[in-house]
Chains A and B, each alone.
Chain A
Amino acid sequence: MARVLVGVKRVIDYAVKIRVKPDKSGVVTEGVKHSMNPFDEIAVEEAVRMKEKKLATEVIAVSCGPTQAQETLRTALAMGVDKAIHVEVTGKDLDTLQPIHVSKILAKLAQDEKADLVIVGKQAIDDDCNQTAQMTAALLDWPQGTFASKIEKGDGILTIVREIDGGLETVKVKTPAVLSADLRLNEPRYATLPNIMKAKKKPLKKLTPKDLGVEIKAHQEVVSVEDPPVRQAGSIVPDVDTLAAKLKEGGFA
Chain B
Amino acid sequence: MKHINIQKYSHLKSAVATYSIDENAVFGQFIFVANGAKGHLNVRQSEGHVVGRLHENFPPLLARVRKMLCGVRGVLRARRVAGVLCRTAASEVGQPLTADTVLADKYEKKRTQAKPFAKELFLGRVDYDLFAYPEVLDPERLQTLNEMVAPIEKFFNERLDSRAIDREAKIPPEVLNALKEMGLFGQQIPEEFGGLGLNATEFARIAEVTALDGSVAVTLAAHQSIGLKGLLICGTEEQKRKYLPRLATGEWVAAFCLTEPSSGSDAASIQTRATLDKDGKTWRLNGGKIWISNGGIADFFTVFAKTEQFDEIGQKEDKVTAFVVERGFGGITSGKPEDKLGIRGSNTTEVHFDNTPIPMENVLGEVGGGFKVAMNILNSGRFSMGSSSAGVLKKLIKLVTTHATERKQFGKQLKEFGLIKEKVAKLSVDVYAMESMAYMTAGILDLYDNPDCAMEAAMVKVYSSEAAWTGVSECLQILGGLGYMKDYPYERYLRDSRIMMIFEGTNEIMRIFISLLGLQHAGAELSETVRKARNPLLYPGYTYRLLRMNFRHTMDAPKMNLRLKGYTHPSLEAATNNVEYCVLRLQYATMIVLQRYGKGVIDAQLELRRVADIAINVYAAFASVSRASRSYCIGLHNAEYELVLAQTVALKTLALVKQYVGELEVGPLNGLDQAHMDIGKKLHQSEVILDYAFSIKTESISDTQDCVSILVTALQDLQNGINDIIVQSQRPAINWCKEEIISPLNEVPLDDPFHDAENFVSDETQQLDAAGLLVHWDDKQEATEDPVIVIKNIDKDAASLEVLNSVFDAVSEKSWTESEPQEPLDEVQQFECLNCNETFSDAGELEAHRAKNHTLPTACDLCGKVSG
Give A residues with C-beta under 8 Å from B.
15, 31, 35, 67, 71, 74-75, 78, 90, 190-194, 196-197, 199-200
Closest Cβ–Cβ distance, residue B165 to chain A (whole Å) = 18
CB <8 Å contact, A196 and B155: no
CB <8 Å contact, A74 and B147: yes
CB <8 Å contact, A190 and B147: no
How far apart sit A71 and B146, CA to CA, in the bound complex (Å)? 9
Please name all residues of chain B whose beta carbon is closer than 8 Å to the beta carbon of A74 when the two chains form the complex. 147
Complex: chain B residue closest to A192, CB-CB: B182
Please name all residues of chain B whose beta carbon is closer than 8 Å to the beta carbon of A192 when the two chains form the complex. 151, 181-183
CB within 8 Å for A31 and B637 given contacts A190-B154, A190-B155, A190-B182: yes
Please name all residues of chain B whose beta carbon is closer than 8 Å to the beta carbon of A199 when the two chains form the complex. 147
How far apart sit A31 and B159, CA to CA, in the bound complex (Å)? 26
Q: Is B233 part of the contact surface with A, judged by Cβ < 8 Å?
A: no
Closest Cβ–Cβ distance, residue A248 to chain B (whole Å) = 34
Q: Considering the complex of A and B, which 5 residue pairs feature the smallest CB-CB distances, nearest first?
A: A193-B183, A191-B151, A190-B151, A194-B183, A192-B182
CB <8 Å contact, B47 and A194: no
Q: Is B70 part of the contact surface with A, judged by Cβ < 8 Å?
A: no
How far apart sit A67 and B139, CA to CA, in the bound complex (Å)? 15
- Within 8 Å by CB of B147, from A75, A90, A194, lies A75
CB <8 Å contact, B196 and A193: yes
Q: Which one of A35, A190, A191 has the greatest number of beta carbons of chain B within 10 Å?
A: A190
Please name all residues of chain A whose beta carbon is closer than 8 Å to the beta carbon of B146 when the two chains form the complex. 71
Q: List 8 A-B contacts (CB under 8 A).
A: A71-B146, A75-B151, A78-B151, A190-B151, A193-B152, A193-B184, A194-B183, A196-B147
How far apart sit A191 and B146, CA to CA, in the bound complex (Å)? 13
CB <8 Å contact, B47 and A67: yes
CB <8 Å contact, A78 and B181: no
How far apart sit A199 and B183, CA to CA, in the bound complex (Å)? 14
Q: Is B837 part of the contact surface with A, judged by Cβ < 8 Å?
A: no
Q: Is B409 part of the contact surface with A, judged by Cβ < 8 Å?
A: no
Q: Which DSSP category, helix, strand, loop or mixed, fits chain B's interface? A: helix
Q: Is B144 part of the contact surface with A, judged by Cβ < 8 Å?
A: yes
Complex: chain A residue closest to B145, CB-CB: A196
- Within 8 Å by CB of A190, from B144, B178, B196, B637, lies B178
Complex: chain A residue closest to B154, CB-CB: A190
How far apart sit A109 and B768, CA to CA, in the bound complex (Å)? 100
Give B residues with C-beta under 8 Å from A.
47, 140, 143-144, 146-148, 150-152, 154-155, 157, 159, 178, 181-184, 187, 191, 196, 637
How far apart sit A200 and B143, CA to CA, in the bound complex (Å)? 10
Complex: chain B residue closest to A79, CB-CB: B151
CB <8 Å contact, A193 and B148: yes
How far apart sit A193 and B184, CA to CA, in the bound complex (Å)? 7
Please name all residues of chain A whose beta carbon is closer than 8 Å to the beta carbon of B155 when the two chains form the complex. 190
Please name all residues of chain A whose beta carbon is closer than 8 Å to the beta carbon of B191 when the two chains form the complex. 197
- Within 8 Å by CB of B196, from A31, A67, A78, A197, lies A197
How far apart sit A71 and B149, CA to CA, in the bound complex (Å)? 12
CB <8 Å contact, A75 and B150: yes
How far apart sit A15 and B157, CA to CA, in the bound complex (Å)? 10
How far apart sit A75 and B146, CA to CA, in the bound complex (Å)? 11
How far apart sit A190 and B47, CA to CA, in the bound complex (Å)? 31
Please name all residues of chain A whose beta carbon is closer than 8 Å to the beta carbon of B187 when the two chains form the complex. 193
How far apart sit A152 and B150, CA to CA, in the bound complex (Å)? 31
Please name all residues of chain B whose beta carbon is closer than 8 Å to the beta carbon of A15 when the two chains form the complex. 157
Closest Cβ–Cβ distance, residue B15 to chain A (whole Å) = 32
Please name all residues of chain A whose beta carbon is closer than 8 Å to the beta carbon of B184 when the two chains form the complex. 193
Please name all residues of chain B whose beta carbon is closer than 8 Å to the beta carbon of A197 when the two chains form the complex. 144, 191, 196
CB <8 Å contact, B150 and A193: no
- Within 8 Å by CB of B150, from A31, A35, A194, A200, lies A35
CB <8 Å contact, B144 and A196: yes
Given A191-B147, A193-B148, A197-B191, 6 more pairs with CB closer than 8 A:
A31-B637, A71-B147, A75-B151, A190-B178, A193-B183, A196-B151
Q: Which one of B148, B150, B183 has the greatest number of beta carbons of chain A within 10 Å?
A: B150
Complex: chain B residue closest to A91, CB-CB: B48
CB <8 Å contact, A194 and B154: no
Complex: chain A residue closest to B196, CB-CB: A193
Complex: chain A residue closest to B146, CB-CB: A71
How far apart sit A226 and B543, CA to CA, in the bound complex (Å)? 76
Closest Cβ–Cβ distance, residue A35 to chain B (whole Å) = 7
Complex: chain A residue closest to B248, CB-CB: A194
Closest Cβ–Cβ distance, residue B546 to chain A (whole Å) = 54
How far apart sit A139 and B225, CA to CA, in the bound complex (Å)? 56
Please name all residues of chain B whose beta carbon is closer than 8 Å to the beta carbon of A35 when the two chains form the complex. 150, 154
Closest Cβ–Cβ distance, residue A11 to chain B (whole Å) = 14
Complex: chain A residue closest to B141, CB-CB: A200
How far apart sit A31 and B636, CA to CA, in the bound complex (Å)? 11
How far apart sit A90 and B147, CA to CA, in the bound complex (Å)? 22
Q: Which one of B140, B157, B196 has the greatest number of beta carbons of chain A within 10 Å?
A: B196
How far apart sit A225 and B573, CA to CA, in the bound complex (Å)? 45
How far apart sit A197 and B145, CA to CA, in the bound complex (Å)? 9
Complex: chain B residue closest to A195, CB-CB: B183
Closest Cβ–Cβ distance, residue B207 to chain A (whole Å) = 13
How far apart sit A199 and B144, CA to CA, in the bound complex (Å)? 10
CB <8 Å contact, B148 and A196: yes
How far apart sit A31 and B96, CA to CA, in the bound complex (Å)? 13
